[in-house]
A and B are shown apart, each in its own frame.
Chain A
Amino acid sequence: MTLNSVRYILRETLNSMKRNPWLSIASVLTVTVSLVILGFSVFFLANASNMAKSFESELEIAAFVQSDTTPEAVNALQTQLKAMPGVASVTIVTKDQALTDFGKTMGDSQSSLVADLGGTNPFTDKLTVKATDPQNVKAIAATMSTLPGIDKVRYGQGFVDQLLSFTQWLRWIGLGVVGAFSIAAIVLISINVKMNVFSRRREIQIMKLVGASNSFVRWPFLIEGMVLGLVGGALAAGIVGMGYNWITMYVQSTLTFLPVVQNQLLFQQVSVGLLLAGMAMGAIGSGFSLQKFLKS
């Protein structure tokens, strides 16, 4: 391919877009709509994943130590638990601390509280265990309950199982939405390009009759598809960026307990991703629809 050909191809791309402004606009809008949905799906996925992770990270196992255990024995238990595979951290909540915490929730001074409770502290020492992977919580809890010196183990049994399967589903649904809309977008743009190619099939036929190679015929369409896809991607990135900003602001002011992803890096990645996806969709769509016309 010579420089002259490159110049010709670029000129032809521009001409083609000027010639069919409405078709070009339709293609751009198709890409934009698809990519806006795609972009929001990505943020949905990120948030679902983040939400799942933050729920999961709050999972911990509480092991209540038998009331007659000495502080040294509690420390030994902590060391022993820490050595277990899959355990991330072990913290000790002494019975005094538990009482203080309880007192705080009552909003009263602790001295009178102990007196109110008959001079004895009803709490026992507690070990709080965090697992490296929430999936391991169940197994760790089972092992812990067999250790000597430990009275009871609590980890919200049924709730953990349900939460884990729910977050797993959330991830799959997010992925499914992203996948489905990628395919829909490619189909839509290939229909648009097909219409464009169809309206120019005479020109393509003449090009081939005077000796144009397939790649020479293909390039203007490919570049046109890529440019239209890029414009659509840019529009989508803008809409998704502003829309998501608006939604997060709204959510944060009303549903404050929901963890919302506000990640500058993710923003940039999604924007660049949408641009590239638009370009790729344009190129793939053009490629598909040209294949048939170039065969004859």
Chain B
Amino acid sequence: MIQLTNVSKIYQNGARALVDVNLKIGKGDFVFLVGPSGAGKSTLIKLFYRDETPSRGQVIINSKNLVRMKEREVPYLRRSIGVIFQDFKLMTNKTVYENVAFALEVIGVSRKEIEIRTRTALELVGLAVKANAYSHELSGGEQQRVCVARAIINNPALLLADEPTGNLDPETAWGIMDLLHNINKRGTTIVMATHARAIVNKMQKRVIAIENGRVARDDEKGGYGYDT
């Protein structure tokens, strides 16, 4: 599903975010990315949905080469990838329903189908009753679930999550994790960057630790591994 070969990323200000990263993530895997803040986790995830391109090396997602990919092909890549953002990235002037339906509208799905799929997704995240609320009327956990619903509505093969529980209380966080776990069981590959030690330790999934832009550790069934 994901293959990185000798990937380095140096930002224009000279910051070396990633150094010579080699990585392989299989179809249907559930992978945690851990490591200190600023270690390069977010940059790595941005490479996956081509928000960034590597300075060196190759990124292959779903057997597509993202480095050689043309600008006009990028939208099609993103339609096969769902992204859950730490800051939700919801549109404040749109309702919950509209925010979720948005991901289908941009790809030209018919109104009827949008209705059906949006309702289904909102039920899955338990927000069907709040469909007509605006995002600022929701709690953090609810907003994050809207973001999850939008990320999964296209049935993406790959789901990326950048600290999806970062702003949530433990109980709400576990709610999100249950959701991700179920989505993973349906065959979606999930890569999640996180600082949530308890979650990583409990789930017993593959853990990749990033430190100073390098892969420091890659355990098949690992724990969080940091003290704080």
Contacts and interface: CB of A to CB of B under 8 A. Distances in A.
Interface of A: 1-2, 4-5, 7-8, 19, 202-203, 205-214, 216
B14 interface: no
A169 B227 CA distance: 83
A203 B111 CA distance: 21
A7 B114 CA distance: 13
Interface of B: 49, 51, 71-72, 75-79, 83, 89-91, 93, 102-103, 105-111, 150, 154
B79 A19 contact: no
Contact of A216 (B77, B106, B150): B106
A49 to B, nearest CB: 48
A210 B103 contact: yes
A202 B90 CA distance: 9
Contact of B105 (A8, A203, A205, A213): A8
B139 to A, nearest CB: 20
A209 B78 contact: yes
A83 B89 CA distance: 83
A203 B76 contact: no
B106 A212 contact: yes
29 contacts: A4-B105, A4-B108, A4-B111, A5-B105, A7-B111, A8-B105, A8-B108, A19-B93, A203-B93, A206-B89, A206-B91, A207-B102, A208-B78, A209-B78, A210-B79, A210-B103, A211-B75, A211-B77, A211-B78, A211-B79, A211-B103, A212-B107, A213-B75, A213-B106, A214-B71, A214-B72, A214-B75, A216-B75, A216-B106
A1 B105 CA distance: 12
Contacts of A213: 72, 75, 106
B108 A1 contact: yes
A205 B91 CA distance: 10
B51 A209 contact: yes
A2 B108 CA distance: 6
Contacts of B89: 202, 205-206, 209
A216 B90 CA distance: 19
Q: Which 6 residue pairs of A and B lie closest in terms of their CB atoms, listed nearest first? A: A212-B106, A211-B79, A211-B78, A2-B108, A5-B108, A210-B103
B102 A210 contact: yes
Contacts of A4: 105, 108-111
Given A8-B108, A209-B78, A211-B76, 9 more contacts: A1-B108, A4-B105, A4-B110, A8-B105, A209-B89, A211-B107, A211-B154, A212-B106, A214-B71
Contacts of A211: 75-79, 103, 106-107, 154
A212 B75 contact: yes
A212 B76 CA distance: 8
A202 B78 contact: no
Nearest to A207: B106
Nearest to A12: B105
A211 to B, nearest CB: 4
A7 B51 CA distance: 28
Nearest to B110: A4
B108 A208 contact: no
A151 to B, nearest CB: 81
Nearest to A212: B106
B159 to A, nearest CB: 13
Interface centre among B49, B78, B105 (most CB of A within 10 A): B105
Contacts of A203: 91, 93
A7 B150 CA distance: 21
A89 B78 CA distance: 76
Contacts of B107: 211-212
Contacts of B90: 206
Nearest to B85: A209
A27 B6 CA distance: 50
A210 B89 CA distance: 11
A205 B90 CA distance: 11
A214 B102 CA distance: 15
Contacts of B103: 210-211
A12 to B, nearest CB: 9
B72 A209 contact: no
A209 B49 contact: yes
Contact of B91 (A7, A8, A202, A214): A202
B115 to A, nearest CB: 12
